[in-house]
């Protein structure tokens, strides 16, 4: 924006004839002049990529959109707006909302749904109607951390998927513990064999409610597949202790109910040491007294991430 402004200001406006020199064209302003002065020539026809040529309307409704350049390193070329995936039987899976992706990523998504997710839905006795798109192109750092390495989302090379919706009304929430473990594992194995990055629950705090897929290129084709398919019921104790009630007695008193009555006479130094230990051990739990500060540290303010 800032860079374009001086050019726009300084450019002479050949479109506007000066008032004292009426040109013959002004007699018919509505007529679409074939050689309007000042009108930029149409850009030369771009060579279509192999991906673009292959991603036909038999496979996906994915019109090309103009390249995105910046800000910074964001953007990319050969972009499409993936609106729907066309299944082999011509039915469509709507991508909601439509996703801005590089052609190669859109093609990978279409192939994934057509080849692996259709049989999965069939085994559940239904067909897929919608792909729940949580996020596609967005210029930002990883996990929305400002200054972090540019996310693949900033290169239109990533898609966050929350669910696949079926014609029978069922929704396969990919991180939904109530969805059969077998179904979620089949999705996991499918995406991890197809995408170079898969991040889901258990990878970090940002992917508990969706699955991140991208085609990041790394040295030696290194791939990341981090998605813990949680059991329907958590089998581990909650990580955070229950909140300490305000009316609870001070920690030292609660920890040593008998300490006050005995021990004073015989082991004064022992008791003093114990008390020091107790305070030491109480420290890690201290944030429980400040739930706001604690929550701020462990929970992301926003769920969307990488």
Q: What is the DSSP letter of 112?
A: H
Binding to Zn ion by residue 78, rule CB under 5 A? no
Residue among 55 and 213 whose Cβ is closer to Zn ion: 213
Angle at 304 between CA 299 and CA 306, to 5 degrees: 105
Provide, rounded to whole angstroms, the least separation between the CB of residue 158 and Zn ion.
Answer: 5
Look up residue 121 and give its two tokens.
């839905």
Binding to Zn ion by residue 306, rule CB under 5 A? yes
Provide, rounded to whole angstroms, the least separation between the CB of residue 199 and Zn ion.
Answer: 7
Provide, rounded to whole angstroms, the least separation between the CB of residue 35 and Zn ion.
Answer: 48
Residue among 124 and 145 whose Cβ is closer to Zn ion: 145
Number of residues located near Zn ion, criterion CB under 5 A = 4
CA end-to-end distance (rounded Å), the chain: 27
Angle at 114 between CA 222 and CA 121, to 5 degrees: 105
Provide, rounded to whole angstroms, the least separation between the CB of residue 211 and Zn ion.
Answer: 8
Length of the chain: 306
Binding to Zn ion by residue 155, rule CB under 5 A? no
CA dihedral for 240, 241, 245, 246, sign (positive or negative): negative
Residue among 120 and 159 whose Cβ is closer to Zn ion: 159
* Binds Zn ion by CB under 5 A, chosen from 129, 160, 165, 229: 160
Contacts of 140 (CB under 8 A, 6+ apart): 150, 151, 153, 154
Segment interacting with Zn ion, rule: CB under 5 A, options 41-49, 80-88, 209-217, 245-253: 209-217
Residue among 132 and 160 whose Cβ is closer to Zn ion: 160
Return the residue nearest Zn ion (CB atom).
Answer: 212
Binding to Zn ion by residue 165, rule CB under 5 A? no
| CA–CA separation, 157 and 139 (whole Å) | 11
**What does residue 190 show for φ and ψ, rounded to 5 degrees?**
-65, -50
Binding to Zn ion by residue 162, rule CB under 5 A? no
Binding to Zn ion by residue 212, rule CB under 5 A? yes
Q: Which of 252, 275, 254 is nearest to 263 (CA)?
A: 275
Q: Which residues bind Zn ion (CB under 5 A)?
A: 158, 160, 212, 306
């Amino acid at each position: 924006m800032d860079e374009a402004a001086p050019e726009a200001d300084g450019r002479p406006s050949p479109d506007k004839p000066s008032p004292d020199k009426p040109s013959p064209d002004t007699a018919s302003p509505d007529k679409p002049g074939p050689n309007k002065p000042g009108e930029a020539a149409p850009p030369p026809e771009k060579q279509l990529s192999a991906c673009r040529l292959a991603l036909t309307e038999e496979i996906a409704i994915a019109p090309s959109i103009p390249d995105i350049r910046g800000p910074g390193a964001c953007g990319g070329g050969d972009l499409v707006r993936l609106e729907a995936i066309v299944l082999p039987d011509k039915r469509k899976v709507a991508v909601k909302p439509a996703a801005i992706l590089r052609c190669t990523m859109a093609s990978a998504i279409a192939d994934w749904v057509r080849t692996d997710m259709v049989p999965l839905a069939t085994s559940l006795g239904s067909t897929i109607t919608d792909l729940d798109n949580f996020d596609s192109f967005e210029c930002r750092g990883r996990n929305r951390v400002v200054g972090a390495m540019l996310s693949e989302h900033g290169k239109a090379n990533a898609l966050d998927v929350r669910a696949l919706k079926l014609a029978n009304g069922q929704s396969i929430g990919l991180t939904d513990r109530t969805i059969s473990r077998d179904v979620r594992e089949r999705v996991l194995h499918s995406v991890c064999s197809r995408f170079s990055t898969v991040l889901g629950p258990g990878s970090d705090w940002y992917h508990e409610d969706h699955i991140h897929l991208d085609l990041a290129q790394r040295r030696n084709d290194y791939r990341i597949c981090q998605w813990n398919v949680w059991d329907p019921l958590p089998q581990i104790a909650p990580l955070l202790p229950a909140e300490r009630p305000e009316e609870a007695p001070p920690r030292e008193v609660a920890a040593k109910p008998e300490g006050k009555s005995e021990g004073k006479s015989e082991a004064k130094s022992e008791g003093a040491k114990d008390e020091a230990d107790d305070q030491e051990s109480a420290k890690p739990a201290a944030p429980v007294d400040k739930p706001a500060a604690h929550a701020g540290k462990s929970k992301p303010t926003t769920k969307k991430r990488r």
